[in-house]
Amino acid sequence: MTQKTTFSVEDLRRRATRQVLPTDQPPEGATTPDAKPMLSFTAQRRGYPPSHLADLDVKARKELLKSAGLPGFRADQISRHYFGRCVAEVDKMPDVPASMHDIVTDTLLPTLINSARELVADEGRTLKTVWELFDNSRVESVLMGYKDRVTLCVSSQAGCGMACPFCATGQMGFIRNLSTGEILEQVRHAMLTAQDGKLKIGPNRLTNVVFMGMGEPLVNYRAIVEALHRMIDPSPEGFGLSARNITVSTVGLVPSIYKLADLGLPVTLAVSLHAPDDELRDDLIPANSRWKVGDLLDAAYHYYSVTGRRVSIEYALIQDMNDHVWRAQLLADELNQRGRGWAHVNPIPLNPTPGSIWTASLPEQQDAFVQQLRAAGIRTTIRDTRGSDIDGACGQLATEVNSQKAATRRANVRNVQ
């Protein structure tokens, strides 16, 4: 009879040959070689977009209309068009008199986001949109079609203050939080796109929403919670999406995870872990300098205990940085010591940038990492990288559009000098 040999994390660690560190090169998109990731919770801009129907609950919508001299019941009608039919143009709402169009548009339905650029990838299965906001900030959302679902990846902030060195958005800094309306407008547009059958695959309706676009959602906690309610609640309060198909992703704002758990909404929590040891994670995810791996996994386990929702552990596999087998075993140990079956690990090969040390793990290393997790009883599913041919990593496209704009501005300045 053959006996199964098991190795400890230390045994496996001794065999590892190469360790690339996040500090070996400047952060992704940095403009100076000595740039350092700087965690920030302070927005660069104070301005906020105009108030919108999607920012408010039905009661507040009625009050706002009444204060504009219109009967409150119109709020209900307009909300049904907006949330039930995804219509935001008053001239497409036959029961709203023409005499009210201007005032309704100004009071409840100002334009919050405009498409600045659209890109198609993966043979029409992925659509990426860069949105321009009222203050010229840019954010992006990605719509992905699968056989059985259509998933929207939404942005929750312009820029991001979490400064993850492998992420282009992180290098933009924290520009500002998006309003609930700006988040829900991304959702409404995606619903229309799916309805119109613009994706080459998947049902003709939006089924899933993930907060994995630009920004750290839990920094924008209030707007996110409002947006969650309005995505889940049925029309005329909201869009009526299934809470179970909505995922809030975080790099690990521990106190906010506990707050979110207490809300009792059955949405999925995804933790962008990327390293199971503080030694590496301190440099890979600057937020780890505040909230350590152990505290983060305790909070994630609490979320599971309270909501009954299995937590997703996101793990971008970066060659020779975090893809060692000993790290897979350490991750498994950390998860198993808190309980069985409460977390699902999703390794995802990093979208590579040419010439960077941030590059995707080799397939054999990826397989070894996954096997080690599975052998330890951890549910593990490799996620596919969508949109890698259109700057699929979060923030890359908006950064590129911004830098093109900046380059154009610089060129214009040179022209007039």
- Please report how close the Cβ of residue 161 comes to ligand SF4 at its closest, in angstroms: 7
Our finding on whether 323 is near ligand SF4 (CB under 6 A) is no
- The alpha-helical segments, DSSP class H, found in 85-220 are 85, 101-108, 168-172, 180-195
Token pair 């679902």 is found at 149
Q: How far apart, in whole angstroms, are the C-alpha atoms of residue 321 and residue 358? A: 8
Residue 22 is a binding residue for ligand SF4 (CB under 6 A): no
Instruction: Spot the catalytic one: 28, 86, 140, 185.
Output: 140
Tell me the closest approach of the beta carbon of residue 313 to ligand SF4, in angstroms: 15
Report the nearest approach of ligand SF4 to the CB of residue 275 (Å): 13
163 versus 246: smaller Cβ distance to ligand SF4: 163
Amino acid at 71: P
Shortest distance in whole angstroms from residue 163 CB to ligand SF4? 6
Listing DSSP states for 210-248 in one string gives EE-SSS-GGGGHHHHHHHHHHHHSPTTTS----GGGEEE
Candidates 159-167, 224-232, 363-371, 376-384 — which segment interacts with ligand SF4 by CB under 6 A? 159-167
C-beta separation of 188 from 241 below 8 A = no
Q: Cis ω on the peptide bond leading into residue 236 (within 30° of 0)?
A: yes
122 binds ligand SF4 (CB under 6 A): no
Is 153 marked as a binding-site residue?
no
Residue 394 appears among annotated catalytic residues: yes
C-alpha span between 144 and 152 (Å, rounded): 6
- To which residue do tokens 């949105």 refer? 131
Three-class secondary structure of residue 97 per DSSP: coil
Nearer Cβ to ligand SF4 (108/163)? 163
Position 160 contacts ligand SF4 (CB under 6 A): yes
Q: Which of 75, 130, 167, 260 binds ligand SF4 (CB under 6 A)?
A: 167
Using the contact rule CB under 6 A, the part of the chain among 78-86, 138-146, 157-165, 366-374 near ligand SF4 is 157-165
The nearer residue to ligand SF4, 164 or 332, going by C-beta atoms, is 164
Q: Is the dihedral of CA 61, 67, 70, 71 positive or negative?
A: positive
Does position 139 interact with ligand SF4 (CB under 6 A)? The reply is no
Active site residue 140: yes
Pair of tokens at residue 409: 């501005």
Kindly report whether the peptide bond that precedes residue 266 is cis, defined as omega within 30 degrees of 0.
no
For residue 188 the two structure tokens come to 């409404």
Element holding 142 (H helix, E strand): strand 138-145
Instruction: Indicate the residue whose CB is closest to ligand SF4.
Output: 170
Q: Is 164 annotated as a binding residue?
A: yes
Piece in contact with ligand SF4 (CB under 6 A), picked from 143-151, 192-200, 212-220, 318-326: 212-220
Name the minimum Å distance from CB 227 to ligand SF4: 17
Nearest to 248 by CA among 293, 282, 217: 217
Q: Which residues bind ligand SF4 (CB under 6 A)?
A: 160, 162-164, 167, 169-170, 214-216, 251, 394
Q: Which residue numbers are catalytic?
A: 140, 394
> Which residues are annotated binding-site positions?
160, 164, 167, 215-216, 249, 272-274, 351
